[in-house]
Structure 1
Amino acid sequence: MSNEQTAIRLPLWAELPHLSLHLDQLLDITNMYLEPIIGDAITKTMMHNYFKAGIIIPPVKKRYSQKHVAGAIVVGLLKNVFTLDEIKQALVWILSDANAQQGYDNFVKMFNEQAAKPQLEPASVNSIDLGQASQSTVLQYEAVQSILYWLAAKNRLAAAMKAKSKA
């Protein structure tokens, strides 16, 4: 991943819509952030599966909130690296250590900081002191690193395939 690419940045909790949303709106917002990163969209079926599996809390009267958008963004990224059961276990663990806003913002701060670097490299995080962090926060850091390394490998493979097709 290089800075030549479009900047990858996820919204912090405070930047997520504060309004009650319909599912289509939730998907539009989620996919606005995820599609440029992962190249795929989250679908209604996927969201219903996340609700049924207890990974994301179900909506109240078919209305969705910041928690749903945040959950869809995180799960949308993590599903490329972890199984849904692993994601559920990690979220339960993280949310036992922090509230949804804190957990989401920790993840996003680490993701944005690491994604902004010109090259992926194991490095410290400026926004959070990993030496003093809880085990669940260290897990978040490692998950962010996994996602970014996965993206780097995906982009490298795509570039190689493109170069091969031109040859």
Structure 2
Amino acid sequence: MNAQHPFPKWDELPDLDLYLDQVLLYVNNVCGPSISASDKGLTASMINNYVKHGYVAKPVKKKYQRRQVARLIAITTLKTVFSIQEISATLNMLHEETDSTELYNEFVAYMNGEQREVTPIIARACQTVKLYQETLALIQLPEKEEEHLELRA
């Protein structure tokens, strides 16, 4: 994630509860720059599965709160390199020691390139995501070069 499109900190997340379609728009907008072209981002069926399996708390009266939105942002970002089970187990383990606000703000700080100390496991997970993104950027051919290769084939 770059400084031009940083992840929102906890206090910058929507303060009012959101319906599913609003959550999808918000999370995909936030995570869009960190999602590869081949990834479709977050979908309604993904959220429903995450809730069904307990990875995300159930919505209250079909509305999602800040804590759920923060967790969905983290999951959507991390799922490019980790399984949902690994992400959930890690978040649950971390949550036993630290509250959601602090964990999310550490995740955001690292992803936004802020110079601050964060929990080692958060730093390593975010490093892995960033290295994966950098690798993808290196192996993606520019469009003109791709077209040229297609014409030669």
TM-score by length of 2: 0.86
> Which amino acid counterpart does residue 44 of structure 1 have in structure 2?
A
The residue number in structure 2 matching 1:18 is 15
Does the C-alpha gap of structure 1 residues 162 and 9 become closer, same or farther in structure 2, counting only changes over 3 Å? Answer: farther
Does the C-alpha gap of structure 1 residues 59 and 162 become closer, same or farther in structure 2, counting only changes over 3 Å? Answer: farther
Which SS does the other structure have where 1:59 is aligned? coil
The residue number in structure 2 matching 1:144 is 126
Asked whether the 8 Å contact 1:107–1:140 carries over to 2, the reply is yes
Shift of 1:159: 3.0
The residue number in structure 2 matching 1:35 is 32
The residue number in structure 2 matching 1:107 is 107
Q: For 1:7 and 1:139, how far apart are their aligned partners in 2?
A: 26
Task: Name segments (4+ residues, structure 1) moved above 4 Å.
Answer: none
Matches for 1:38-53 after TM superposition, within 5 Å: 38-39=35-36, 40-53=40-53
Q: Is 1:127 equivalent to 2:109 in the alignment?
A: no
Gaps of 5+ in 1: 115-125, 131-136
The residue number in structure 1 matching 2:56 is 56
Shift of 1:92: 0.6
Gaps of 5+ in 2: none
- Which one is further off, 151-160 or 67-76? 151-160
> Which amino acid counterpart does residue 139 of structure 1 have in structure 2?
I
TM-score by length of 1: 0.80
Does the C-alpha gap of structure 1 residues 64 and 155 become closer, same or farther in structure 2, counting only changes over 3 Å? Answer: same
> Among the aligned pairs, what percent are the same residue?
31
Q: For 2:112 and 2:145, how far apart are their aligned partners in 1?
A: 29
Shift of 1:166: 3.1
Which SS does the other structure have where 1:32 is aligned? helix
Shift of 1:104: 0.4
The residue number in structure 2 matching 1:159 is 141
Aligned residues: 146
Does the C-alpha gap of structure 1 residues 38 and 92 become closer, same or farther in structure 2, counting only changes over 3 Å? Answer: same
Which SS does the other structure have where 1:159 is aligned? coil
RMSD between aligned alpha carbons? Answer: 2.0
Asked whether the 8 Å contact 1:8–1:37 carries over to 2, the reply is no
Q: For 2:25 and 2:146, how far apart are their aligned partners in 1?
A: 34
> Which amino acid counterpart does residue 116 of structure 2 have in structure 1?
S
The residue number in structure 2 matching 1:123 is none
